[in-house]
A and B are shown apart, each in its own frame.
Chain A
Amino acid sequence: MPTTVTMTVNGKTVSREVEERTLLVNFLRDKIGLTGTHVGCDTSQCGACVVHLDGNAIKSCSILAVQAEGASVTTIEGLAAADGTLHPMQAAFKEHHGLQCGYCTPGMVMSAVDLAKRNPSLTEQQVRQGLEGNICRCTGYHNIVKAVLAGADAMQAGAGERQPAEMAAD
């Protein structure tokens, strides 16, 4: 039976009719048209689908859209500034060549942002452990780890200069 689900996606309130069994990732991709969030597996293991739900990284392939009713979701499309300036973590992935085919990248970046927000001074070990839920078939992870460390530093450096209102909108 179709039902209406309402949530905030990248700061905007969206409301769509869905089936109860619709996964959040399908809601985002097919109903909202945000195809940056990928699906890479059927076993909840690859992390290509990671988005933030009320600020926490989760796998959008393993939660129903109706479970996110009333919640606030941030996808990879919601990271860059309105003028197109990349988020420091996105910029770091570009700079450090943290991707090859790019399939895992949206999930990697979303997980990395969550990790960096929780740990003000990340170590390489923490990055490797923190990205356990994200699989990359191309890079061998080395450059991803470099990118995350650099992106986390850039986020730290930026945090001091930013306005409280901007921080709250993250």
Chain B
Amino acid sequence: MYSFSFHRPKTLAEAASIQGGLEEPKLLGGGMTLVPTLKQRLARPSDLIDLSQIPELKGIRETAEGLEIGAFARHAEVAASDLVRRTIPALADLAGHIGDRQVRNLGTMGGSIANADPAADYPAAVLALKSTVKTDRREIDGDAFFTGMFETALEPAEIVAAVRYQRPGKAAYAKFRNPASRYAVVGVFVAVFGSEVRVAVTGAAGSVFRATELESALAADFRPEALEGITVQRDDLNADIHASADYRAHLVTVMAKRAVVACG
């Protein structure tokens, strides 16, 4: 690891202002992506800004429309939260299947979405649950948050403070996990809001996306059979040693069907 300076601001305002005078600051969430990256010398920040001591980034609250989850909510906390399990159980289920127990005890929601790994789970929830990302300076529509592989609408030094998720009528997340890394080879989040059906797909392409073909089929007929014979048509599907592009396209439909079944 290269050396760096370490800061532990106590407020969101301090975390934002502290970065101003620094050469190449980097925000530190749970460190479950960043620390391994530093260990491999794949990043060389001048300073780390540890977000763990900032009360404004913590907590899970019920809102009129659903839930607001603080950026520093650890995956294990979201998975175990009675409020989340009652309000949007699919979200608790998603958080509870990230990595392993030890990773969930440190990793945070804010870090996961800011990192925007193409195989990460939370981005599927952000897209499926009509969410709004609150930062230290503005609100970003969840639909416009993910802009590419490891890319988001966040400006340099912008801090994710919380995400507001809307409560769907029903929802489920189905993940085909890589057995070694436990990231999603393909993960599909299906959420129903009245007559609207949202199908968000992670793992399959460079960035999370909504499978509009599947959405319209399910809006017309919300049964797994309605997806028979429909395959996502995209030329940017991932292909690697774990799965070919064709196999991933196939998995999208299969996982979507499983999610529909799980919606009950």
Contact = CB atoms under 8 A, between A and B. Distances in A.
A43 B99 contact: no
Nearest to A110: B102
Interface string B92-103: 000000011111
B195 interface: no
B6 A62 contact: no
A69 interface: yes
B52 A67 contact: yes
Contact of B31 (A43, A57, A63): A63
Given A20-B48, A67-B52, A111 B6 contact: no
A59 B99 CA distance: 12
A58 B106 contact: yes
A143 interface: no
Contacts of B8: 66, 69
B6 A64 contact: yes
Contacts of A133: 99-103
A111 B101 CA distance: 9
A59 B100 CA distance: 10
A53 B103 CA distance: 12
Interface in A54-72: 56-59, 61-64, 66-67, 69
Given A57-B102, A59-B102, A130-B101, A42 B6 contact: no
What class of interface size applies to chain B in its complex with A? 20 to 34
Interface stretch (B35-43, B59-67, B133-141, B229-237): B35-43
5 contacts: A44-B103, A47-B100, A56-B105, A66-B8, A133-B99
Nearest to A59: B102
Interface residues of A, number: 30
Contacts of B180: 45
Contacts of B103: 44, 59, 133
B100 A21 contact: no
A44 B32 contact: yes
Contacts of A21: 1-4, 38
Nearest to A44: B36
Contacts of A42: 39-40
Contact of A67 (B2, B31, B181): B31
